[in-house]
Structure 1
Amino acid sequence: MTTVAEFEAGDRLQRRVWRIDRGSTPVPAEVLNAVSHSGGYVAGAFTDDCLVGISAALVGRQDTRRVFLLEHILAAEYRDAGIGHALKADQRSWCRARGIDSVRWTFDPLVSRNAYIALAKLRADVLRYVPDFYGPMDDGVNLCDESDRLLVTWPLDRSHDQEQTGRSGDAECDPHEWRPLLSIDGRGRPKIHPCTDDVRMTCAVPADIEAVRRQDPVLAGLWRRALRECLFGVLDSGGRIAGFTRRGQYLVTTRGTEA
């Protein structure tokens, strides 16, 4: 995307996706313009000349030799339509043409579909859990919930076949091998279990946290704090997130335990 008209369409798309009636979007049209003209990545997905998805990313540098693409937004008009996958495929081609070997982005760890795409389909690696990354967000999706995020990195040298089959997170876990650390009780509330050292554990999340936020903000807040306690605690103590299952469970391992 390179024209003012395209950037303005991208701004309108963000308003629709995040249900923003007033105030600025995450990346306004003038910022999309700046990112594009400073050598960053701004791309749209179109159907019949209609913009249905957008991604904007900056080129970052970790040290003098390692360069990565840092995706700030990826918004899609429709779920389960392959828009996000198409944009990710384009990101990879864009990066490879410029000698960039990884893409980083953040996502809300309570949004199960985003966790599944990142960890099971694309096989991204979790770098860290960041509490309240953006501060409270008052759009129509986040509804002033705290903006905890998982920061992940996607090594672009992983093969297409591996992405299609996924890793351990793409399969169901054996309950005899993976013990629950966070589960969902009969009322849809989070239940934290005692953490046992050197075992494989699961952290479940709601199937649709956005619906929970609309219907019961107090319950959504309980889920935010419970998942933060579990995932941040495991990562902070040297554990790792090994994958994400189709049933909506993070697979986490403590220090010294292989997935």
Structure 2
Amino acid sequence: SLDNLNASLLRFAMELGGIFLLAGFLVFGLSFFLARMSLRPVEHAFSEQQRFVQDASHELKTPLTVILANLSILKSHPTATIREEALWIQNTETEAKRMQELTERLLFLAKADAKKLPPRSEVLSLSTLVESTALPFTALAFERKLSLALDISPALSVRGDAQTLAQLLAILLDNALKYAAPGTEVTVRLCRQKKHALLSVHNNGELIPADALPRLFDRFFRVDKSRARAAGGYGLGLSIAKTIANAHGGDIRADSTAEHGTVFTVTLPLSE
């Protein structure tokens, strides 16, 4: 009887030890899984930061190379006049301006990442802002043999920063005019949809592939890199536009079909 009791106690102890060991493995596995899950956003952010730095360095490399090449040519002609070397001086100035534009856009995105964009504290007339921002593009449209049409609902107000909202529209208009087919019309529309303002910019031209639409707002993404670079683009404009829309409590989307052309639509909450 005592032997049976000892055997039972031993069996119970072994079973209890097995349970504790299994529980320990389960706790360790769960802890490891949760730790990995918690680190994923950090790893993703670090990976995105690395890619951002690499892409920015790549974009800066081209204008720097051109500037250094132009300066090398100028140094090889020490007795030449400014008039004789005007081509190389102009090329240097052009590339320097491109670097300035890229740097300004990178600084804007850095401020956005650091949550240092202007606060949405001012109630402003979005109708007036859209009209005043779009009108100067009429001359640019004329130069490119395009027409610019405005369809703006009056008295629509939002809470936000006028400068960055104007920048958002300028980015969309600039893209629309760059890639519109000659002889077509670019349309800017602003209307109310319940408690939101819908701002859209539409053009007809080369369509954006369906598989590229989800990545349009990624930093440095370009559907056609050679074409975008020839047009002076860096693949940052749409990312900045989305950043501005999100900072104002809104969003932006793109649609491109053979039937309706390409349209970018910004949704912004109306001011009460």
TM-score by length of 2: 0.22
Considering fraction of residues, name the structure with more strand: 1
TM-score by length of 1: 0.22
